[in-house]
Structure 1
Amino acid sequence: MDKENIIEWFEQGSVSIPKLLMNHYAQLGLNEIEFMTLMHIHAALEGGNSFPTPVELSSKMSISSTACMETLRSLIQRGFLTIEQHHDQSSMITETYSLKPLWEKLIYFMMKETQHKTAETQQQTELDLYSIFEKEFGRPLSPFECETLTMWVDQDHHDIVIIKAALREAVMSGKLNFRYIDRILFEWKKNGIKTIEQARSYGRKFRQHQQPQKKSSAVEKEAANSSVPFFNWLEQ
């Protein structure tokens, strides 16, 4: 082995293979032969050979040129590889391989994985929210209460942290019921309360400025006829 051969090896360079593809090519639907075929095309493109033949590709692999041709056909049909046509200055048509469909599939797969993980995290967070409510109420939630919790998250778009803060306010006020919590959330949303710090500050200010007031007879009658304690968050 002489110095010139070693230098030639170094000058051949290296091929960068995305780790995401290495870890997930099977989930994309590729087997090892298909994966290596694509990687050899990738290496050829980086080396300046934009349209390696099946013979050239198979010479670097353990499959025949016929099997390589079948693999290429399958990859194209399944949308992992495309052949693009280009016109050069002499109006000659040249063909090149493009791995753009492969990268697009990989990106789409990772986006779906991220969405799936986000959905799982959200689902677990909501389950934790149910557990917190059941712990504070000291009993399992009714179907109506479960539906109300779901509506707060999915329809009213209340942050789960804010819902927990509203539950805390209800506990501190000694009015632990869903109607009271719903009105707290309504009041906070109306006043632009979006963070736990804003909710705590708003609650402290409200309690500090809340003065005992004599209710009118109409209000007293409404409170007496209601099975839910009179909600005082809306007394501004």
Structure 2
Amino acid sequence: MDQLTAALINGGQTTIANVLLQHYREVGLTNAELLVYLQFKRLMDQGEVFPDANQVAQSLGETSNTVFQHLHEMLAKKLLTIESVTAADQKIHDRYNFDGLYEKLALAIKKSAHKEVEPAVADQENSRQKVFKSIETEFGRALSPMEMESISKWFDEDHYAPEIIALALREAVLRQVYNLTYMDRILLNWHKRNLTTAAQVEADKQRGIENRLNSAPKPQRQTGANAGPKIPLFKLGEDQSK
């Protein structure tokens, strides 16, 4: 067994959560403090509950005072605590506890997830409000609570896109039918035909127009008495008196 293989086996491994590497700055760790934490974690994973700061300093190529300064900063940020525990030999020993770091990490992840969801929720609410306002404008009156509930069901239960509801409103206005029941029948018809986007609805309407034009009877050419006056044909320069 070569020296590298022996070092890899005997040295063990230290597992680092990717979420920590992704969010460590959000919990208040600097780059230097992260390296200090990783060195302490390495030694703690090897069984040392209170690693020697001098050993960490040597691994980092720093002075012991620098390492202690980083530890004090992490203590001030409540990312680290030093606990006194009674060991099996009944002696009291100090140990490092980085639970505060992971508690702040959990909050950072939750906050990050909330930021991702919040714009989507806001956009959905804005779209819904626009639909309400558009219908009230076209109907020329305020919507009743029951009508607002019906429109909300289009969003929450039927999952109709705002653009589809806007098209159904346009169809109702063109036919001068100002009620939600008519719009609901339009939406249901499109849903049954798998027309779920505005582009699909418009394409379907265009196909309908083309089909009607193609199926319309072609105008017939008139013959006989109704054909109109005949136009004589002759060549240029030909004597027309013959």
TM-score tier (shorter): 0.5 to 0.7
Alignment-derived partner of residue 56 in structure 1: 55
Q: TM-score scaled by structure 1?
A: 0.59
The percent identity for this pair of structures is 17
> What is the one-letter code of the residue matched to 1:50?
V
Shift of 1:7: 2.8
Alignment-derived partner of residue 42 in structure 1: 41
Shift of 1:132: 3.9
Secondary structure of the residue aligned to 1:80 is coil
Secondary structure of the residue aligned to 1:37 is helix
- Distance between the aligned counterparts of 1:74 and 1:108, measured in 2? 20
Give CA deviations for 1:8-63 in whole Å, capped at 9, x if unaligned.
22211221111111111112221111111111111111111111122111111132
- Distance between the aligned counterparts of 1:113 and 1:162, measured in 2? 28
Alignment-derived partner of residue 6 in structure 2: 8
Does the CA contact (< 8 Å) of 2:80 and 2:96 recur in 1? yes
Residue 32 to residue 130, structure 1, CA distance change in 2 (3 Å): same
Alignment-derived partner of residue 228 in structure 1: none
Q: Does 1:119 align with 2:118?
A: yes
Aligned length: 172
Q: Does 1:23 align with 2:18?
A: no
Give CA deviations for 1:51-88 in whole Å, capped at 9, x if unaligned.
11221111111321001111101101211111122112
Secondary structure of the residue aligned to 2:59 is coil
- Distance between the aligned counterparts of 1:26 and 1:117, measured in 2? 18
Q: TM-score scaled by structure 2?
A: 0.57
Alignment-derived partner of residue 156 in structure 2: 161
- Distance between the aligned counterparts of 2:82 and 2:12, measured in 1? 25
Which structure is larger by alpha-carbon Rg, 1 or 2?
2
RMSD in angstroms over aligned alpha carbons?
Answer: 4.0
Give CA deviations for 1:112-157 in whole Å, capped at 9, x if unaligned.
1112222221101112223444555677x99x88xx8xx97xxxx9
Q: Does 1:108 align with 2:103?
A: no
